[in-house]
Structure 1
Amino acid sequence: MLNVPVTMLLQLIRGVSGSMDKDGICHCVVYLPNNAIYLQQLEQLQNTAQELMGKYEQELSRVSEYAHAIEDQENQVLEMNSTLNSRNPTFLASSYEFPAFNLLRLELEGAQELVAQLKTNRRVSGVSDLLHELQSQVANASLTLKLLAESDQRSFRALRQEVDVLESRLHECEREKEQEETSIHPDPPLSPGSCAHGGLQKVSRPLVVQLNWRGFSYKSGAWGRDSAPSPASSLFWVAPLREDGRYFDYYRLHKSYDDLVLLKNYEQWKMGYGDGSGNTVYKNFMYFNYYGTSEMAKVDLSSNSLVLRRPLPGATYNNRFSYAGVPWKDLDFAGDEKGLWVLYATEESKGNLVVSLLNASTLEVEKTWHTSQYKPALSGAFMACGVLYALRSLSTRQEEIFYAFDTTTGQEHQLSILLDKMLETLQGINYCPLDHKLYVYNDGYLVNYDLSFVTLKSRPPAKRPSGTQAPPKAVKHNKGSRT
């Protein structure tokens, strides 16, 4: 008696009567010929059928498990999206790069290959419907996995964009709120030439005055007003360089800010021996680098006469250690409440910025300080109340005042004061103690900034080298009204 499916015996047995029970199994009595070959083939066929059915059930069970795993993975990703607390650009984007996901993808690909092999096997034609269903389920599972990964990545990118927009709006709101509070509760103005403060706190937005008088092609130069604490007159000066960005030959003087804006009541002079955009004006004298040398030059603005030339000991020249993006600025002169200064580099300092206090009458070096900042890595520097402030470029539209060196204490510390700019390069930077402004020559345009300082009442703690005493506390102190 054999209990086997009818389809397995049709090829060997025909016309045999039998009966079928309630389970649909056919019972029949067959007298087979005494031939071992037929019996071996029948036994082999029965074993093959049982083996294939076992594999079908195993693969079908795996597909079901994969479908549940995909659903759990999708729920987990959605939960992570909803509870995103930090901007980690690789967190969600890599959700589908986990080893479990790769293993799942590889197993599905293996299941597809197995189904394809089974379909090509002629001995399993009796289960074609089951194979077709199995193939469809595996294909659907693979497609679901792919769509889930792509959908998650798109969702993450969209979420990142929304977060960026929201953060930008938040920063703008904070900035507007700070400006509004400042306008409602302004601090008392800082008196002209006063150093009764705890250092620089922030810089205002840029105010573009006008294009320099020689035109847009003259991108390099410097401008400002007399940087003495109490000048005899409110003299404004503009000194564009030639189009080569090096040679300084012409300058104009204006007796007032209104005359400068209206381009009237000016004196125009020609010198013909200036080098770079490190000029400054201090007590009605202009100081600059004499062309092609390490010499300092002094010109009387009342007569446009060269009154003094003096070499600066150890200073490099001919563009040896100039600022980043600003060539030929080997000697950078600056005036502030403490006196006349020159910023430069030497071979001995290995290109690091050196600060020297000058005797304004004789140009002798009275005292020198060495900083830790490599001059060609800086985009510019200026002095205010005996403190050196160094800048570096963050982008084409923003600078950062990141470093300060106090010549009174010899201490240096890090800052982070942002300075917006209209164009890419700040060629000339001059500070004026009279109105606490920065006068910046920005790619041919005359731009100025209001500086805000902190008073000595409740100064916030500043970063300082280890082993130094904490500075006194301070509060914010804004400058006076615009000129």
Structure 2
Amino acid sequence: WSRVSSSASCSQTVHCDPMYFIMLNLPVILLLQLVPGSMGKDGLCHCVVHLANDLIPLKKLEQLQSTAQELMDKYDQELLRVSEYTCTTEGQDNQVLEMNGEAPIYNLLCLQLERPQELVTWLMAKGGLSESVTHILGISFPQVANASLILKLLADSDQHDLCALRQEVDSLKDQLRECEREKEEVASGHSGPPLPPGSCDHGGLQKVSRPFVVQLNWRGFAHKAGTWGRDSAPSPDSSLYWVAPMTTDSRYFDYYQMYKSYDDLVLMKNYEKRSFGYGDGSGNTVYKNFMYFNYYGTRDIAKLNLSSNTLVLRRPLPSATYNNRFSYVGVPWKDLDFAGDEKGLWVLYATEESKGNLLVSRLNTSTLEVEKTWQTNQYKPAMSGAFMACGVLYALRPRSTHQEEIFYAFDTNTGRERHLSILLDKMLETLHGINYSPLDHKLYVYNDGYLINYDLGFQMLKHKPSKLPAEKFSWFPIAPKSVKPNKTSSP
């Protein structure tokens, strides 16, 4: 095992260098048992080294060392790949978002680390190793297992963060599309000052704002059906607000409250609560301090004086269906739907002769007689509601539980109709009473017990309406039936 030159004193004890074996970065020192040397015939000093009996064979140790070194090399390579991947993801977040559910590299690393774990497990189970080597393998096995666990946690965290980022990006995309839609709508019209109260100097409805929730109705959430708004007569002096929740069966109109201002409504003060048990459905409206509604169980139009809370006039609407015959989809008992706008007082309804298609009639507010009627091509039970603005009917239909669409318009001034698509968000599923106010160009909606309103945006004009061709807005005639009222007909 060791030689010394002839010049060395053979009587001295030869200290042979110890052998160091590196395994898993931990030194294993094989201590040599030394004896004094002797001079041979060849003039060289020889020493004999005796190995301890408990040491493992050298060949097995060399194989173990080689296997362990290969294991550590692979382990270092995988850790390096993890580090490179982490740097890549931090600098290229956009590429991570385009992975579309592909498994990150962490999963691959976990699979590759399973082989070293199996190797160490096999070596420990095979036995025949010294106590020191077994100790080293016992240390290395938890290290590899911990590395695998860390990679799994990183993979889970990466997937969670990726899902969160995708949700945030989807939300931002939706907001961007909404902004682009509003931008296009604004760009399609002419900019100008806000419309004065009662003005029709515009080219028709262009957009609807997001809903503004005022409050829950004063009778509570159980009263899902109802209607509310303000006096729709185009008079700036009127500041009356009213709220009329229906009974819990969504049919009977028996109470209403009036407020002198919007602040009083919000603060629930200075109000007058009235009882009047003759209404049917949520088609009420207020025009010039009178409330108009469908008299219970009949086709009659009723006129209520709000100052005295007395019924001043009641008159049947010829041929109108009632008792929920042709009501709106999802809104029962709304056979007669009243509306006030810049042009006067209107009633929207259907008849058996129209086969359920919507009729629009302008009423004489003094006598409640029908002055003129227009028939549309729209089936009333396919609509969710309608309102009038500047003599134009706008009809809604449901798109989802959180969105409606204003899809149809009929102009009583020209007898023309057009199809459009103006989206209207809603807080809850059903829009019951819908009333338009010419004073502030708002839409007042009773949404499953909540009072909400919308700002309406109209297309501004550079010229007076009389000089604007109707074809500019894609209106087209439908040859409507103009029905003259039969004043001599019986109820």
Matching residue's letter, 2:410: T
1:66–1:141 CA contact under 8 A, matched in 2: no
- Residues 124-273 of structure 1: pairs in structure 2 closer than 5 A: 124-125=129-130, 127-128=133-134, 131-132=137-138, 134-135=140-141, 137-149=143-155, 152=158, 187-203=193-209, 206=212, 208=214, 212=218, 220-227=225-232, 238-250=243-255, 270-272=276-278
- Structure number, greater radius of gyration: 2
Compute the displacement of 1:118 (Å).
0.7
Residue of structure 2 equivalent to 1:301 = 304
Partner residue of 2:420 out of 413, 422, 430? 413
Residue of structure 2 equivalent to 1:80 = 92
Matching residue's letter, 2:394: L
1:203–1:451 CA contact under 8 A, matched in 2: yes
- Residues 336-347 of structure 1: pairs in structure 2 closer than 5 A: 336-337=341-342, 340-342=346-348
Matching residue's letter, 1:73: Y
Residue of structure 2 equivalent to 1:64 = 76
Hey, what's the Cα distance between the residues in 2 that align with 1:440 and 1:400?
A: 13
Which secondary structure state, in structure 2, belongs to the residue aligned with residue 189 of structure 1? coil
Per-residue CA shift, 1:380-404, capped at 9, x if unaligned?
5433231415375988xxx656324
1:393–1:400 CA contact under 8 A, matched in 2: yes
Compute the displacement of 1:47 (Å).
8.3
Q: Structure 2 unaligned segments of length 5 or more: list them.
A: 1-18, 22-35, 39-45, 49-56, 178-190, 306-310, 364-368, 464-469, 475-491
1:217–1:243 CA contact under 8 A, matched in 2: yes
Compute the displacement of 1:455 (Å).
0.8
Residue of structure 1 equivalent to 2:186 = none
Hey, what's the Cα distance between the residues in 2 that align with 1:56 and 1:140?
A: 17
1:284–1:300 CA contact under 8 A, matched in 2: no
2:106–2:155 CA contact under 8 A, matched in 1: no
Compute the displacement of 1:105 (Å).
0.9
2:382–2:397 CA contact under 8 A, matched in 1: no
Matching residue's letter, 1:388: Y
Hey, what's the Cα distance between the residues in 1 that align with 2:47 and 2:334?
A: 107
Calculate the TM-score normalised by the size of structure 1: 0.59
Compute the displacement of 1:70 (Å).
1.6
Hey, what's the Cα distance between the residues in 2 that align with 1:198 and 1:280?
A: 22
Residue of structure 2 equivalent to 1:33 = none
2:397–2:407 CA contact under 8 A, matched in 1: no
- Residues 18-97 of structure 1: pairs in structure 2 closer than 5 A: 55-81=67-93, 84=94, 97=103
- The change in CA–CA distance for 1:374 and 1:158 in structure 2 (over 3 A counts) is same
Per-residue CA shift, 1:59-115, capped at 9, x if unaligned?
33322221222222222222234xx599x5x969x67x33x4323212312321221
Sequence identity percentage: 37
- The change in CA–CA distance for 1:168 and 1:138 in structure 2 (over 3 A counts) is same
Q: Structure 1 unaligned segments of length 5 or more: list them.
A: 8-16, 20-25, 29-44, 172-184, 459-467, 473-483
Which secondary structure state, in structure 1, belongs to the residue aligned with residue 444 of structure 2? strand
Which secondary structure state, in structure 2, belongs to the residue aligned with residue 407 of structure 1? strand
2:211–2:425 CA contact under 8 A, matched in 1: no
Residue of structure 1 equivalent to 2:126 = 121
Q: Once superposed, what is the RMSD of the aligned Cα atoms? A: 5.7
Partner residue of 1:437 out of 438, 442, 447? 442
Hey, what's the Cα distance between the residues in 2 that align with 1:168 and 1:300?
A: 46
Residue of structure 2 equivalent to 1:355 = 358
Calculate the TM-score normalised by the size of structure 2: 0.58
Compute the displacement of 1:124 (Å).
4.3
Residue of structure 2 equivalent to 1:41 = none
